[in-house]
Structure 1
Amino acid sequence: MAKIRDLSAQTSFLFTGDDFSVEQDDSVQSGYKGTPEQILKSVFGYDSFRPLQRTVIQNVLDGRDTLAVMPTGGGKSLCYQIPALLSEGLTVVISPLIALMQDQVTQLESFGIAAAFINSSLEWNEYTAVCDRIRRGQIKLLYVSPEGLATERIRDLLHSRNVKLSCITIDEAHCISEWGHDFRPDYMEIASVREEFKGATCLALTATATKQVQNDIVRNLRMENPAVLVTSFNRPNIFLDVRRKNNPPLQVIDFIRSHKGQTGIVYCFSRRQVDELHAVLCESGIKALKYHAGLSDEERSRNQAAFISDRADVIVATVAFGMGINKPDVRYVIHYDMPKSVEQYYQEIGRAGRDGSPAEALLLYSPADIRKIRWFFSENADGTKSEKLLQGMIKYAESHTCRRRQLLSYFGEFNTEATTDQCCDICSSGGGEEKDMTVCAQKFLSCVLRTGERFGTHYVIDVLMGSKASRIVENGHNEISTWGIGRTLDRQKWLELCDCLIEYGLLAKTEEHSVLYVTDAGKQALRSRTEIRLPVSFDENSPKKSTAVLRKAPKQIPDDDKEGKRIEAELRRWRRMAADELNVPPYVIFGDKTLLDIATKKPKSQQELKECYGIGDSKAEKFGYFIIRITKN
């Protein structure tokens, strides 16, 4: 422990004042020298580009307007950061959230890049200092909100004599489309700003855009002969899991306990649910925080900062949380309720596994979620659009075929190679294959008919399982022929069978009260006694196989590598102290993937350190002394 205290003292000496942010000279807007590949390695410490990155970067360098649709965690930021460094002038990044701007600027400064943001969090003296640096050409990247960009003050600043605007980047570009899941009217004003800076290239970036949303983005931004580049929506490192709600607080607790030591986000539909679930988790001994619009600004900021600084395992939040979070090591995202659209769901699960290591997305689903969402449609000006978006989410949640394939097909991608036996709960449990379920299906359909097509799913299942509940007895349904004939299956299997019957059009529900009724196709199947094959995950005459699978865990140092284990532990302690000293999240120093690569390779010099993932020249110079002391010890 004495060694760590010694490192702490050294850290304090190194990180006083402004040492963390590299000072730039007055010629910073003239651009860096080298190729995109050289910048990628020397500045950011990465050896190769991810799919589509290099093409997008070249388009921007060539001055061509570009729309790039890339998954969350796919490296969209580098698509404008590298061209900004290689180009003359200033790149303006339009970003929707203050937290997102601050996080991006902090990370860029850690790489020695001159960046700044202008938003309402700045004091007047801070604002004027940023403006002076822009006018002197000392800033390469400027982050502003769409509302801020529309102000006369910001436009005048960008028209300053010594400012050359080389690129306008629109992050979260789906916000400009009314068909996007997070439409923001202020994004519509960006086109008018573009007209004032015709020489600036326009780059639009988003993780969630159907073909219709892509067309809206191009049209609303008035892009000229744009390149529209869409990479795969597949995030193979995220395991997709959907489970029926069955005591959801306990389901969440069990899941979190099975991921001990990992960080995660739990999304809830309402503030009340956030408060209630947060209280339950805390009572269960789970170190959890909460986040929603009902909290004070101070409490929200404090809880967000604690989460991204690894001072809590879990944050329970409404959808207001997450867009400003660039935390790479979130290992799971839980949806306590069904999202309103596939776009929203995809955006939120993308906050897990941004470092490329294995992660999980768990959706807890109940038909009651659908009714709750529809209740809010009455306050929506376009209920038809909302219903269409919701139907996509319902299809995903109730599907009995590969979820990854369902998700990708929603965005127009039909990637058969994306399906593996480890990609989702259905594939991992052996589901997806149609089985002969004729007898069970006939029992269920017959029970719906004999109870008069006047009840919901759980009531029908209770009759099948022989319940003597007072309501069933009062209705005389304990006397009908289908009472008690379904005891061979448990409730969860009947629920799964019911979902399949609905998906295959043999059964349906009324929209208002979710009452079950047999369709014409279902009645015909009963009359003709035809074989009914359904993609359930169980066999009709045998117990259901366990759905537990050994999913790939995040990379770890092998147990027999004692020296690697020591280095990892000391690096984690040093990273925590350095982050506290600098008042930044630990991942800004370096992420877990970098930490593990250092512990594996055990570099003995700064040159060897630069061969590790995520270590460029700037970080090697800033942190190399301390890291090498640990690895050489």
Structure 2
Amino acid sequence: MAEVNMDEVIKNVCVKFSVESLKTEQYHMLQSMLAKKDCIAVLPTGFGKSLPYQIYLPVVRELGRLGPQTERIIVCCPLLALMKDQVERLHSISELRVAYKGSSHEMDELINRGEFDILFASPESLVGDSKFRQLLQNFNVGMIVIDEFHTIATWGGNDDSDEYLVFRKWFRHVGELRSLFPSAPVLALSATCTNKIKKRVMKVMGLRENDTTQISISPNKPNIKLVVKKVSSEIETAIYWLVDALGLLGESFPRTLVYCNSISDVSKLYNHVVKELENCTNLVEMFHSETPEDKKEKIVSALRNKDSCVLIVIATLALGMGVDVLNCNSVVLYGPPRSVVDLVQAVGRVGRDGLPSVALIIYNSHHLRNVDKEVKTFISCQNCRRKELLKNFISDTDLLKFTDETCHTCCDLCAELCKCNHCSVLDIEKLFNNECLNCSSDSDDTIDYDWNVDELDMDFSLSDS
């Protein structure tokens, strides 16, 4: 019998997934899975972390490695939107039966009968539902995937946390899956994870340092400039630059995500904008965990369409994981998130086309009351913000190697020190700075809104070019 060429098999399977070839990191992930080794991968948003486990079973089949029992993959996923998105993407692969728990009564019945190859489910279902746990043990689970594994720490709380106070307590118990399927290796995936969180998650999941394949790429996004500005504690004053610019530019306003830390702030910002600009309501949406599912789908669909009229989405971090936003190079954070992980996640939502982008973090003193020490340090640092942020994610050795030759597009602090005399200022910066320049320094709150669009020298084209 002729020897099967593994690389040729992988290439053939990739074609079915509309992928020409695997990236180096994806290939190493797949190799670890084929070797039945635990693997932890920290790779940037949009990198394609899911592809290795998606092609795993087809590759195994073509290699002739399937045993007498059908091998299955369980994907522990934090968000329903993520599960739905992955299942929809895989529906075109005829040789894979893919499902997610809670999709429908009919789908749950198929899952109960074991009619799946890849199953997506939440921690609440996989470890919090005793009946479902017992049911799953009847099936041959050959791989456990933990998607967005940093949520084990950020949402699950610590071992000594009050379970009534943590966001989703079953996240901290995800490690129990190891005891349910002791022979199944773990593939843990995240786009953003601090060194501290990675150590804790490895402990929760029972991943031993020497026996686990570790693959990572720095979360640094060099095309995204980091800008921090302090604003008034009054929402109306803090964002009137945005309201004024939207009213002036209308459909020429650059597509922008605006993140808030609470549903309350999302509602206040959204209601203020649409109240002030009744003729622009079709350009603005809001998105949070309580938004109806059909509305969420409409907004996500609009963000995936570069020609959509939706230009501003005011949201909590519920709008995030797994959502590919097209033609968006501006993100505004109304108050920094609690952790540097959430900060990097929010910043990374934009600029996926590689074009110059900006993350504008605006804050008041109230916003800093409940954030982690690392976030406070990032906000108050006097040197490079990018280095201050990255030191939480990469080793000291790698940090020493880090250099940024384009200071004016690194962060606001580096831009101040740049001596090139031709620093570029991105669209949202120009809009924000124009407001600041026109603010009266006197106490009478009088503001000059006499703008000339031509003088702004901005390209607000919604085309890919």
Q: TM-score, normalized by length of structure 1?
A: 0.55
Answering whether residue 244 of structure 2 is matched by residue 268 of structure 1, we say: no
Counterparts of 2:460 and 2:37, CA distance in 1:
41
Structure 1 residue 306: Cα displacement: 5.0
Distance 1:222 1:85, change over 3 A: same
Please, which of 79, 90, 101 is the counterpart of residue 97 of structure 1? 79
Distance 1:468 1:33, change over 3 A: closer
Correspondence for 1:145:
122
Please, which of 233, 242, 246 is the counterpart of residue 252 of structure 1? 242
Kindly, what percent of the aligned residue pairs are identical?
26
Please, which of 164, 170, 181 is the counterpart of residue 140 of structure 2? 164
Counterparts of 2:154 and 2:289, CA distance in 1:
23
- Deviation digits for residues 5-55 of structure 1, max 9, x if unmatched? xxxxxxxxxxxxxxxxxxxxxxxxxxx994434433452334451x62222
Counterparts of 2:441 and 2:302, CA distance in 1:
51
**Is the Cα contact below 8 Å between 1:33 and 1:86 reproduced in 2?**
no
How much is the aligned-residue C-alpha RMSD, in angstroms? 3.6
Structure 1 residue 300: Cα displacement: 4.8
Counterparts of 2:336 and 2:188, CA distance in 1:
29
Instruction: Extract unaligned runs of 5+ from structure 1.
Output: 1-31, 375-388, 434-464, 470-547, 558-633
Answering whether residue 290 of structure 2 is matched by residue 317 of structure 1, we say: no
Counterparts of 2:350 and 2:95, CA distance in 1:
26
Counterparts of 2:26 and 2:238, CA distance in 1:
40
Counterparts of 2:361 and 2:441, CA distance in 1:
31
**Is the Cα contact below 8 Å between 2:225 and 2:358 reproduced in 1?**
yes
Distance 1:327 1:213, change over 3 A: same
**Is the Cα contact below 8 Å between 2:339 and 2:374 reproduced in 1?**
yes
Structure 1 residue 301: Cα displacement: 5.3
Answering whether residue 64 of structure 2 is matched by residue 64 of structure 1, we say: no
Please, which of 170, 193, 197 is the counterpart of residue 177 of structure 2? 193
Please, which of 362, 365, 368 is the counterpart of residue 367 of structure 1? 365
Counterparts of 1:142 and 1:468, CA distance in 2:
61
Structure 1 residue 157: Cα displacement: 4.2
Structure 1 residue 290: Cα displacement: 1.1
Instruction: Extract unaligned runs of 5+ from structure 2.
Output: 1-5, 61-65, 158-165, 420-439, 445-455
SS of residue paired to 1:214: helix
1:159 partner amino acid: Q
Structure 1 residue 267: Cα displacement: 1.0
- Deviation digits for residues 308-347 of structure 1, max 9, x if unmatched? 5646222111233323534455433211122222111111
- Deviation digits for residues 140-172 of structure 1, max 9, x if unmatched? 322111111123443344334xx4322100011
Counterparts of 1:329 and 1:56, CA distance in 2:
30
Q: If you compute each CA radius of gyration, which structure gives the higher value, 1 or 2?
A: 1
SS of residue paired to 2:286: strand
- Deviation digits for residues 259-288 of structure 1, max 9, x if unmatched? 937543211233332223213333432611
SS of residue paired to 2:382: coil
SS of residue paired to 2:412: helix
Q: What pairs up with 1:403-552 in 2 under 5 angstroms? A: 403-413=385-395, 414=399, 415-418=401-404, 420-426=406-412, 429-431=415-417
Counterparts of 1:418 and 1:166, CA distance in 2:
43
Structure 1 residue 196: Cα displacement: 2.5
- Deviation digits for residues 557-597 of structure 1, max 9, x if unmatched? 5xxxxxxxxxxxxxxxxxxxxxxxxxxxxxxxxxxxxxxxx
Q: TM-score, normalized by length of structure 2?
A: 0.73
2:391 partner amino acid: S
SS of residue paired to 1:199: coil
1:290 partner amino acid: M
- Deviation digits for residues 362-392 of structure 1, max 9, x if unmatched? 211233422xx34xxxxxxxxxxxxxx6221
Q: What pairs up with 1:44-123 in 2 under 5 angstroms? A: 44-47=18-21, 49=23, 52-87=25-60, 88=66, 89-110=71-92, 112=94, 114-122=96-104
Identify which range, 165-174 or 151-160, moves more after superposition. Answer: 151-160
**Is the Cα contact below 8 Å between 1:103 and 1:326 reproduced in 2?**
no
